[in-house]
Amino acid sequence: MAQPLTAADLLSLEQYARARPAIRARMIAHRAARRLEVGAHCTWSFEDRETVLYQVQEMLRTERVFEPEGIAEELAAYNPLIPAGRDFKATMLIEYDDPLERARRLGELRGIERRCWMQVAGRERVFAIADEDLQRENDTKTSAVHFLRFALAAESVAALKGGAALAAGIDLAAYTAIVEPVPAALRAALLADLD
């Protein structure tokens, strides 16, 4: 199980400013391997300890936070995004370039976050546990950003480690997509998230 981040894991604002160009270049490549396009308008970015550390450092930099209380608040907000050893965690973005189309589609896509799934070959689909932090839809529309957690049974973890294929998709009347199999680079990255 990945350990939660602590203040000791962080660079000071000055250290981070000096190291940021190299860290940013490394993170672009790291994030690219952890990204999955599910249909034409949904992207899942799978989180791990490294992506969360980067997000925390970026937030501290942007908000100029250096006091212990503020750092603790950021860590408390972001640590839940780190996979716990038997799950995958992803940020889902729903993307439509045209603002009018985006507004219309977000109205049609209510509940999409609960219809996202992953499936280890030979096992049942595992539907996402979505937005555990707060409600991201209302009576008229869903949000363009959702946080997904896919909790895997021990047997599914063992099957994945044994070479089973992994698929993902969205099963909503207004938006259906399947990625089968998940690309090898992403599958390898996700395997590293498992105990």
Task: Report pLDDT digits (tens) over 26-52.
Answer: 999 999 999 999 999 999 999 999 999
- Average the pLDDT over 152-156 and give the result: 96
Q: What is the pLDDT of residue 49?
A: 96
**In the predicted model, is pLDDT for residue 193 greater than 80?**
yes
- Average the pLDDT over 143-148 and give the result: 93
- Average the pLDDT over 68-93 and give the result: 94
| Confidence grade of residue 135 (pLDDT, cut at 50, 70, 90) | low
Q: What is the pLDDT of residue 12?
A: 94
Q: What is the pLDDT of residue 151?
A: 97
The residue count of the chain comes to 195
What's the whole-model pTM score?
Answer: 0.91
Beta bridge partners of residue 148, listed in sequence order: 90, 130
Range list of H helices, 3-98: 13-32, 49-63, 68-78
Question: What is the chain's mean pLDDT, rounded?
Answer: 94
Tokens representing 149 are 């957690």
Q: Is the peptide bond before 99 cis (omega within 30 degrees of 0)?
A: no
